[in-house]
Structure 1
């Protein structure tokens, strides 16, 4: 069985340049489709003339053109959040050597949520700049806690132990979130829309707040790709190749938490995007992080933007929050992955 698997990997590596070209072409086509769809569809559909007027003719003040311009910040924000979640998922899977690692599964989103709701309840925070720092602190502390719990006992941080630690932590932190909200109605009113996960409240201010964290996370993630490939061979082999395993593992984990925490702060705890994006790419291109990380960014942007469009269409004339759509589609896929494959280290 292992010889057949090795043969399949050799054949895939031989055709990797062709696969990579095809994946890039398909990804960019889907990216364009998702952008156009996000600008065109909503409570009111906009035709080609309205799209062209809104995008390329700022002097035209028609209703459709203004609708397109109003949707631009939402579209850009959903793309950026998708990029962040896709890369965060790829980094967390590589660092933990867990093929089903994801910010939502490992409890990082819930940790960020707990700190945000605590900030609202006890420190009266209300701006995106305040949200982002509280969410980052919660995401980092939770990531360290889950990895520490998952590393206890024999065998260290195995994929199954990390998932179980993440699930237990998520349950405990979710209970704390509810305990803080229930006696404080004003906190519940402010928190309930954010908790679902949405890109509908996007503004140019939130985008500008988000960009520095996105850039830092992306740069660190891309730089650490080669080191993560070495870490996949095992710490002893990686050390023999001259890789400082502790430093690069910490750097990649830091980048993943920054990307996840910043996204959670501004868009809410949107789950399964990183899991889906990285799995799709790994099935086609293998486990080379030099390809997985950048293409997961594109795939994550596509998944989140399309999910947002689907939510608007299904909930018309209102909308179904994107966090509901990604959970509705991601949970069955996670169940299928767990049924069809053994959860083993990468």
Structure 2
């Protein structure tokens, strides 16, 4: 059994940690070096997103389009009207999904927690479908309110169902409740779409999880919601460190468990709702990114959240670029590429972590 440590230090997590296998002390130098590497990868991913596509554009031309735009030049128009918007959306959505995944894994102490696996994305999707089918919503700013409501309702249902029984909200019960809810909501989505052809036509492209052909102006209006979610994450780091020690010990250290869970839940709803409204229900970003971060940070959630905010956009933009390259002259949506890459990671996690230790 693991030994308790101060949650604010960089050391092995105490009893109740979600990831006992990762309980290794990580030197501060390694944390800073890893963060620098992550930032460099983010810069490279942004550059690749602007340069790579069905139409090859040199980096010098991209820089010229950004610094001295001339809309009479075709390459400048492609960069400004197509690639800059999808890169900006990839940055915002990746940041939101990475942070949301880290929050969900921390608050549930479940290494398999993810907005897609726990039904949050499905809830947001169902409400967005309802908005499209019955209220004629067509913009990201219109989607977001339905996405917020759906994410909140799904999160509450999963937590309530997972809390039933003598042991309360265990990680296994939360995962099972999320899986069952996702299946149920997916069936409801199918029923709505089959009865409304216009909604189906609008939804089928959005649901694939893509960064292309999105309305940048409406999307940027969602940035304040993500900003609030990020600010809540700054508060949540110490709370998650305390929760990782187990409810009893966290309560003994003076942590208000109800307040901690409310703060994290609000942040998750804001981040997941915004990301889903922007780019559709993209899965596995929130699952993969926190695990990658832990290899460099150890169990300290203040560092995990910081890394997740950088690595989330890296993964999503890299998937988007890869989707453009492997299917030229067409492309594969980023959400499909991320799902293809994330499935092996999920299998590896299930094999590495014993079910009793989830």
Fold similarity call, TM over 0.5: yes
Shift of 1:144: 0.5
The equivalent residue for 1:217 is: 229
* Post-superposition offset of 1:10: 11
- Residue 258 (str. 1) matches residue 258 (str. 2): no
Find the counterpart in structure 2 of residue 22 from structure 1.
Answer: 33
Q: 1:181-210: CA deviations, max 9, x gaps?
A: 112111110111111111112333133221
Equivalent in the alignment of 2:241:
229
Unaligned runs of 5+ in 1: none
| 1:236-264 per-position Cα deviation (integer Å, ceiling 9, x unaligned) | 22222222110111111110121011111
Equivalent of 1:108 in 107, 112, 120? 120
Q: TM-score, normalised by structure 1?
A: 0.94
| Residue 150 of structure 2 is aligned to residue 138 of structure 1 | yes
Corresponding residue of 1:198: 210
Aligned to 2:136: 124
5+ residue gaps, structure 2? 4-10, 14-19
SS in 2 for 1:287: coil
Does the aligned pair in 2 maintain the 1:159–1:344 contact within 8 Å?
no
Counterparts of 1:10 and 1:331, CA distance in 2: 21
1:6 & 1:230 partners in 2: Cα distance? Answer: 13
**Distance verdict in 2 for CA 1:10–1:60, change over 3 Å:** closer
Q: Which residue of 2 aligns with 1:77?
A: 89
Helix, strand or coil at the partner of 1:174: helix
State how 1:1-346 maps to structure 2 within 5 Å: 12-13=24-25, 15-59=26-70, 61-70=72-81, 71-343=83-355
Report the alpha carbon displacement of residue 12 of structure 1 after superposing the two structures with TM. Answer: 4.3
Q: CA deviation at 1:2?
A: 6.0
Structure 1 residues 213 and 62, CA gap change in structure 2 (3 angstroms): same
Deviation of 1:11 after TM superposition, in Å, equals 9.4
Q: Distance in 1 between matches of 2:205 and 2:12?
A: 48
In the superposition, relative to structure 1, how do residues 286 and 45 fare at CA in structure 2: closer, same or farther (>3 Å)?
same
2:93–2:275 CA contact under 8 A, matched in 1: yes
Q: Do the aligned partners of residues 11 and 108 (structure 1) sit closer, same or farther apart at CA in structure 2, a change above 3 Å counting?
A: closer
Q: 1:174 to 1:33 in 2, by over 3 A?
A: same
- CA deviations on 1:71-90 (whole Å, 9 max, x unpaired) are 11210110110000000000
| 8 Å Cα contact 2:124-2:149 kept in structure 1 | yes
Greater helix share, 1 or 2?
1
Relative distance call for 1:296 and 1:181 in structure 2 (3 A) is: same
Q: Distance in 1 between matches of 2:309 and 2:42?
A: 11
TM-superposed CA distance for 1:33, in Å, is 0.8
In 1, are the aligned partners of 2:12 and 2:299 still within 8 Å (CA)? no
